[in-house]
Each structure stands twice: as C-alpha cells, then as structure tokens.
Amino acid sequence: QVQLQEAGPGLVKPSQTLSLTCTVSGGSINSGNYYWSWIRHHPGKGLEWIGYIFYSGSTYCNPSLKSRLTMSIDTSKSQFSLELSSVTAADAAVYYCASASTVSTYFDYWGQGILVTVSS
C-alpha cells in the first residue's frame, strides 16, 4: 500500500516561497501508475486541487496557481516537491500530497497533511 508523507516549514513569510516535499513509500514513484498530486484545504473552506507531476517530470496544474507554481520529482529519493512563490495569507492551508491512479481519476492515497501558516 502506498504511503505518503509531507514535510516542510509550517511557517512562511508573506512574499516568500513555500516549499514542500512528499516522500512516497510502499510503491514505486516511477511506475507510471500514478499522478503525484498536491491538494490544499483552506480553513473553513473546501479542498482545492493544486497540480500533479508524473514520474517523467511532466506537470499539470490549477490555472489559478500556474504562474507561481513549480513542481519537481526526484525518483532516486522517491520524493516529489512543490514550490509556490509570492505567498500571501490566501495560501495558508493544510497541504496534502496524494496519488491519483492514471487508469481512473480518483485520489486513493493521501498524506497526513501539513499546516502552512503565512505570517511575518
């Protein structure tokens, strides 16, 4: 069973870059079977899909975040990462990494989530 674990700073200053990493275990990150995804949950609001990266390095993201978002993957470390630049208070959320099967389009495995606060 695939397990995912987010890591990164819980506090980011406004205008700086938010950087998170997700470590994958129990499955191969370069199997081609999953879209490795990021999803966030704003307090009191719904979930928001951020984007995904494929094992090949190809990415696809939420158009609303595209200009500020960079995603990367390191298959040797079984990790994929997110960088969101020029953060504001609106980026404060719980960030989840998740896997979406390429044969269907649901998120079957999720990390525990990491709370990111944006404050000076």
Partner 1 sequence: QSALTQPASVSGSPGQSITISCTGSSSDIGTYKYVSWYQQHPGKAPKLIIFDVSDRPSGLSNRFSGSKSGNTASLTISGLQTEDESVYYCSSYTRSSTWVFGGGTKLTVL
Among 15, 88, 112, 117, indicate the residue that binds partner 1 (CB under 8 A): 112
- The nearest distance, CB 113 to partner 1, in angstroms, is 6
Among 12, 18, 84, 100, indicate the residue that binds partner 1 (CB under 8 A): 100
User: Counting contacts by CB under 8 A, is residue 1 touching partner 1?
Assistant: no
CA R_g for the chain: 13
How many residues sit in the footprint of partner 1 (CB under 8 A)?
21
CA 47 – CA 82 distance, rounded (Å): 17
Of 10-18, 67-75, 79-87, 108-116, which segment contacts partner 1 by CB under 8 A? 108-116
Where does residue 104 fall: left (phi above 0), alpha (psi -120 to 50 degrees), or beta otherwise? Answer: beta
For the chain, list the strands marked E by DSSP: 3-7, 11-12, 18-25, 34-41, 47-53, 59-61, 69-74, 79-84, 93-101, 107-110, 114-118
* Terminal CA-CA length for the chain: 39
Of 10-18, 23-31, 83-91, 109-117, which segment contacts partner 1 by CB under 8 A? 109-117
User: Counting contacts by CB under 8 A, is residue 105 touching partner 1?
Assistant: yes
- The footprint of partner 1 (CB under 8 A) covers 39, 45-49, 60, 62-64, 96, 100, 104-108, 110-113
